[in-house]
Structure 1
């Protein structure tokens, strides 16, 4: 049996980070919590997965770019959640902002238009359309050839991607969606469902990656 990956998460000092990280139902997913301003002093090689939760200040992430890229190149999985603006601190990420409609669901029969990009991808065993549907802040555009879209709009605008090539043997998972923020702020139930599916997917796929025989 493969060993459970070691998961670290950054605490950006916001109340929604604290509530998401330290309370049920998600607190047991995180083996280590690192305060944002302490990341530069930490040996990240001790971790298999490092999660940067929603709305972590990109101003403080930018100086960590080299360290975070090295973490992935050493085999780690880096997860950049919504509103962390990874396009400003990692290379080859395009981003286009879009107006946010918080009230689309008040229209009878309304559909935000999100979908899982590839029904055959493993993430679809953990997440479905309803779990990622709350609102939009922007899209990853243009999408680099190494970045496989996992969630997108009906127009093909990427909302979450996985990149297992650019930083091999590590990987990058990035999303424009911000479930940690909304779960920690106690509103939008879909965001809790997204985390309830996304966290097990990250851990299970990381365990499978680590146990796979070398090519």
Structure 2
């Protein structure tokens, strides 16, 4: 894997939690030159020049609401947006529906079936994501909008499709959107949960290696 190219403007919307601050301080992310924007004190207008917007997981819904128009405007002008878990995307992302699900935390220890299955094996995104990066955890299921591509689906114990936990939408807006119910910033910054760090790193690498322009 080559070094990320820091030419584009990358921002991370965060709430100042210990995990978010630890993630932003991670030396491995320094080449990306991420601009942190605190959800309470920064102005949504700061997204105006962002080419990549990272919406960190577990933000306060009432504070995130003020940023929604700016996030959607970024998508409309062609930015890449990553929205991580527990951000109530069903309430504000166009065409997205979300339902909560109980989390199977330690399936690799208990032997329990996590019921997660990778999908769309021919999609170019799989050049960036490994199975370990996307199968570890979730907080709900998503119903993607028409034209979006699910990369990971959750199935019920009866074997029926329950919903997506990670999808890419390159159709609804002019931009690229990655949405997941996994919360990699929290778990990476907290230092536990196998796969969370890989998902965070892989998502950033995918976001900054745009196949339509040099980022």
TM-score by length of 2: 0.86
Are positions 1:25 and 2:31 aligned together? no
Q: How far did residue 23 of structure 1 move?
A: 1.7
CA distance in structure 2 between the partners assigned to 1:203 and 1:49 by the alignment = 7
CA distance in structure 1 between the partners assigned to 2:133 and 2:173 by the alignment = 28
Q: 1:184 aligns with which of 180, 189, 212?
A: 189
CA distance in structure 2 between the partners assigned to 1:111 and 1:203 by the alignment = 33
Decide which structure has greater helix share.
1
Mark the runs of 5 or more structure 1 residues left unpaired by the alignment.
Answer: none
Q: Which residue of the partner structure matches residue 171 of structure 2?
A: 165
Residues 54, 81 of structure 1: 8 Å contact kept = yes
CA distance in structure 1 between the partners assigned to 2:165 and 2:32 by the alignment = 23
Residues 45, 70 of structure 2: 8 Å contact kept = no
CA distance in structure 2 between the partners assigned to 1:200 and 1:29 by the alignment = 9
Q: Deviating runs (4+, > 4 A) in structure 1? A: none
In structure 2, do the counterparts of structure 1 residues 4 and 19 end up closer, same or farther at CA, with 3 Å as the change threshold?
same
Matches within 5 A, 1:89-168: 89-108=92-111, 110-141=112-143, 143-154=144-155, 155=161, 157-168=163-174
Secondary structure class of the residue paired with 1:91: coil
Q: How far did residue 27 of structure 1 move?
A: 3.5
Instruction: Give me the CA root mean square deviation.
Output: 2.2
Matches within 5 A, 1:44-123: 44-108=47-111, 110-123=112-125
CA distance in structure 1 between the partners assigned to 2:98 and 2:207 by the alignment = 23
Q: How far did residue 46 of structure 1 move?
A: 1.4
CA distance in structure 2 between the partners assigned to 1:138 and 1:84 by the alignment = 11
Mark the runs of 5 or more structure 2 residues left unpaired by the alignment.
Answer: 156-160
For residues 164-195 of structure 1, give each alpha carbon's deviation from its aligned partner in whole angstroms, at most 9, with x where no partner exists: 12111x12211111111111111113111112
TM-score by length of 1: 0.86
CA distance in structure 2 between the partners assigned to 1:157 and 1:41 by the alignment = 31
